[in-house]
Structure 1
Amino acid sequence: MKCLSVLQLLLAAAAPIEAAFSWQNVNIGGGGGFIPGISFHPTAKGVAYARTDIGGLYRLNLDDSWTAITDVLATDEKWGSWGIDAMALDPQDPNKVFAAIGMYTNSWDPNNGAIIRSSDRGNTWSTTTLPFKVGGNMPGRGMGERLAVDPHNSSIIYFGARSGRGLFRSVDGGATFSRVASFTASGTFINDPSDTSGYSSDIHGLAFVTFDSTSTALNGATSRIFVGTADNITASLYVSNDAGSTWSPIANQPSKYFPHKCKLSPSESALYLTYSDGTGPYDGTDGAVYRYHIPTSTFTDITPFPADKYYGFGGLGLDTLRPGTLVVATLNSWWPDAQLFRSTDSGATWSKIWEWGNYPDQTLYYSQNTDNAPWVNAGYISQDSKKLGWMIEALEIDPTDSDHWLYATGLTLFGGRDLTKWDLPTGRNVTISVMANGIEEMAVLGLASAPGGSELLAAVGDDSGFTFRKEGDLGTSPKTPWMTPIFTSSTDVDFAGNKPDSVVRIGSSDGQVALSTDGGVSWNAHYGAGTSKSGGAVAYSADADTIIWSSSNAGVFRSQHQGTFTALASLPSGAVIASDKRNNTIFYAGSGASFYSSTDTGSTFTTVAGALGEATSVRDIVAHPKVAGEVWVSTNIGLFRSRDFGVTFSRVGSSSLSNTQHIALGVGTGSSWNVYALGQGAAGAKLYASGDDGLTWVDIQGGQGFGALSACRLAGSANVQGLVYVGTNGRGVMYAKGTVGSGPGTTLVTSSTARPTSTSSSVPTTSAAATTTTTTSKTASTTSSTTTSKPAVTTSTSTSQAPATTTATTPLAGRWAQCGGIGFQGPTACAAPWTCTYQNDWYSQCL
Structure 2
Amino acid sequence: MRYLPTLQLLLVAAAPIRAAFSWKNVRFGGGGGFSTGIVFHPTTKGVAYLRTDIGGLYRLNADDSWTPVTDSLATDAEWGSWGVDAVALDPQNPDKVYAALGLYTNDWEPKMGSIVRSSDRGATWSRTRLPFKVGGNMPGRGVGERLAVDPRNSSIVYFGARSGNGLWKSVDGAASFSKVSTLANTGTFVPDPTDVSGYQSDKQGLTFVTFDSTSALLNGATSRIFVGVADNTTASFYVSNDAGSTWAAVPGQPKAYFPHKCKVQPTEKALYLTYSNGLGPFDGTLGGVYRYDLTNGSWKDITPVSGSDLSHGFGGLGVDMQKPGTLLVASLNAWWPDAQLFRSTDSGATWTRIWEWANYPEQKWHYGLNTDNAPWINAGFISQDTKRIGWMIEALEIDPLDSNHWLYATGLTVYGGRDLTKWDGPNRNVSISVMANGIEETAVLGLASAPGGSELLAAVGDVSGFTFKKTSDLDTPPMEPWMGPKFITTTDVDYAGNRPGNVVRIGNAQGAKEVAISTDGGVSWKAHPGASDTAHSGTAVLSANADTIVWSSANGGVLRSQNQGTFSAVASLPSGAVIASDRADNAAFYGGSGGHFYRSTDTGATFAAVSGALRSATAVRDIAAHPKIAGEVWVSTDIGLLKSVDYGMTFTPVGAGSLNNTHQIAFGLGAGSAWNVYAVGTGAAGVKLYASPDNGASWVDIQGDVQGFGNLSGVKLAGSGNSEGVVYVGTNGRGVFYAKGVVAGGKEEMTTTFVTTTVKATKTVTPTTATPAITSPVTTSAASAPSTATASTVPTAAAQHWAQCGGTGWMGVTACASPWTCQPQNDWYHQCL
TM-score, scaled to structure 2: 0.89
What is aligned with 1:845? none
Gaps of 5+ in 1: 1-11, 773-831, 834-847
C-alpha contact (below 8 Å) 1:288/1:313 kept by paired residues? yes
Task: Report the Cα distance in structure 2 between the residues aligned to 1:238 and 1:484, rounded to whole angstroms.
Answer: 52
RMSD: 2.3
The CA deviation at 1:306 is 1.6
1:704 — aligned with what? 707
Q: Which position in structure 2 is the counterpart of 1:689?
A: 691
Name the counterpart of 1:191.
191
Q: In 2, distance between residues paired with 1:314 and 1:329?
A: 6
Q: In the TM superposition, what are the counterparts of 1:108-187 in structure 2 within 5 Å?
A: 108-187=108-187
State the shift of 1:527 in Å: 2.1
Structure 1 residue 745 displacement after superposition = 3.6
How far apart, in 1, do the equivalents of 2:535 and 2:807 lie?
41
**Residue in 2 that maps onto 1:732:** 735
What CA distance in whole angstroms lies between the structure 2 residues aligned with 1:19 and 1:551?
40
Helix, strand or coil: the match of 2:72? helix
Shift of 1:644: 1.8
2: distance between equivalents of 1:18 and 1:350? 61
- Contact conserved, 1:653 with 1:748, CA < 8 A, in 2? no
Task: Write the distance in 1 (CA, Å) between the matches of 2:50 and 2:795.
Answer: 60
Instruction: Name the SS of the counterpart of 1:209 in structure 2.
Output: strand
Residue 554 of structure 1 deviates from its aligned partner by 2.0
Sort the Cα spacing of 1:760 and 1:521 in 2 relative to 1 into closer, same or farther, 3 A.
farther
User: In the alignment, is residue 656 of structure 1 matched against residue 654 of structure 2?
Assistant: no
Match of 1:827 in 2: none
> What secondary structure does 1:192 align onto?
coil
Aligned to 1:392: 393
**624-633 or 276-285: bigger deviation:** 624-633
- Secondary structure of the 1:267 match is coil
Question: Do 2:281 and 2:392's aligned partners in 1 also have CA atoms closer than 8 Å?
Answer: yes
1:636-681: CA deviation from partner (whole Å, max 9, x where unpaired): 1111111221122121012210011101000001131000001111
Per-residue CA distance 1:105-148 (angstroms, 9 max, x = gap): 00000000000000000000000000000000000000100000
State the alpha-carbon separation in 2 of the partners of residues 250 and 551 from structure 1. 54
The equivalences for 1:481-496 within 5 A come to: 481-496=481-496
Equivalences for 1:759-770 in 2 at 5 Å?
762=798
The match for 2:600 is 598
**Residue equivalent to 2:556:** 554
Q: Secondary structure at the match of 1:288?
A: strand
Contact 1:600 1:760 in 2 (8 A): no
Instruction: Give the whole-Å Cα distance in 2 for the aligned partners of 1:143 and 1:327.
Output: 16
Q: Deviations over 1:493-537 (max 9, x none)?
A: 000111100000001113300000000000000121112211110
Distance 2:810 2:661 in 1: 22
**Cα separation, 2, equivalents of 1:410 and 1:653:** 44
Q: Any conservation in 1 of the 2:17–2:745 contact (CA below 8 Å)?
A: no
Distance 1:729 1:456, change over 3 A: same
Partner of 1:531: 533
Report the alpha carbon displacement of residue 735 of structure 1 after superposing the two structures with TM.
0.1
The percent identity for this pair of structures is: 68
Residue 236 (structure 1) aligns with: 236
* Deviations 1:5-48, CA, capped at 9 Å, x for gaps: xxxxxxx99xx955341100000010000001000000100000
Contact 1:650 1:748 in 2 (8 A): no
Q: After superposition, give the CA deviation of every residue in 1:264-314 in whole Å (9 maximum; x if it has no partner).
A: 001011100000010000011110000000111111000002231100000
CA distance 1:744–1:656, change in 2 (3 Å):
farther
How do residues 185-334 of structure 1 correspond to structure 2 at under 5 angstroms? 185-307=185-307, 308-334=309-335
Distance 2:364 2:239 in 1: 42
What is the rounded CA distance, in whole Å, between the counterparts of 1:180 and 1:246 in structure 2? Answer: 9
2:645 aligned to which of 643, 646, 669: 643
Taking the aligned partners of 2:402 and 2:269, their CA distance within structure 1 comes to: 21
Q: Show the counterpart of 2:770.
A: none
For residue 367 of structure 2, what is the amino acid of its counterpart?
A: Y
Query: 2: CA distance between counterparts of 1:435 and 1:213?
Result: 30
SS in 2 for 1:268: coil
> Measured at CA, do residues 544 and 754 of structure 1 come closer, stay the same or move farther in structure 2, by a change above 3 Å?
closer
Give the residue type in structure 1 aligned to 2:531: A
- Alpha-carbon distance between aligned partners in 2 of 1:272 and 1:769, rounded to the nearest angstrom: 78
Distance 2:702 2:739 in 1: 9
| Cα pair 1:649 1:769 within 8 Å, conserved | no
Cα deviation, residue 465, structure 1? 0.3
Distance 2:796 2:496 in 1: 20
Is the Cα contact below 8 Å between 1:114 and 1:129 reproduced in 2? yes
Tell me the CA shift for residue 759 of structure 1: 10
Which residue matches 1:402?
403
Structure 1 residue ranges (4+ consecutive) displaced by more than 2 angstroms after TM superposition: 16-20, 744-749, 753-772
Please list the CA deviations of residues 537-557 of structure 1 after superposition, one character each: whole Å capped at 9, or x if unmatched.
Answer: 001001111000001122100
Kept after mapping to 1: 8 A contact 2:398/2:407 = yes
Aligned to 2:815: none
Instruction: Give the match's secondary structure for 2:673.
Output: coil
User: Could you report, residue by residue, the CA deviation over 1:46-94 in whole angstroms, capped at 9, with x for unpaired residues?
Assistant: 0000000000000000000000000001111110010000000000000
Q: Identify the residue that residue 102 of structure 2 maps to in structure 1.
A: 102
- For the 8 Å contact 1:168–1:177, the answer to whether it is kept is yes
* Aligned match of 1:581: 583
TM-score (norm 1): 0.87
The one-letter amino acid paired with 1:638 is: G
| 1:806 matched residue in structure 2 | none
- Corresponding residue of 2:9: none
Structure-1 separation of matches of 2:628 and 2:260:
55
Identify the residue that residue 721 of structure 1 maps to in structure 2.
Answer: 724
Query: Unmatched 5+ residue regions in structure 2?
Result: 1-12, 754-788, 812-826, 829-833
Q: Give how far 1:382 is off.
A: 0.4
Quote the residue 1:430 is aligned against.
430
For 2:165 and 2:746, the matched residues in 1 are separated by 51
Structure-1 residue corresponding to 2:450: 450
1:715 aligned counterpart, secondary structure = strand
**Match for residue 611 of structure 2?**
609
Partner of 1:817: none
2:361 matched residue in structure 1: 360
Rounded to whole Å, the distance in 2 between the matches of 1:134 and 1:143 is 14
SS of alignment partner, residue 472 of structure 1: helix
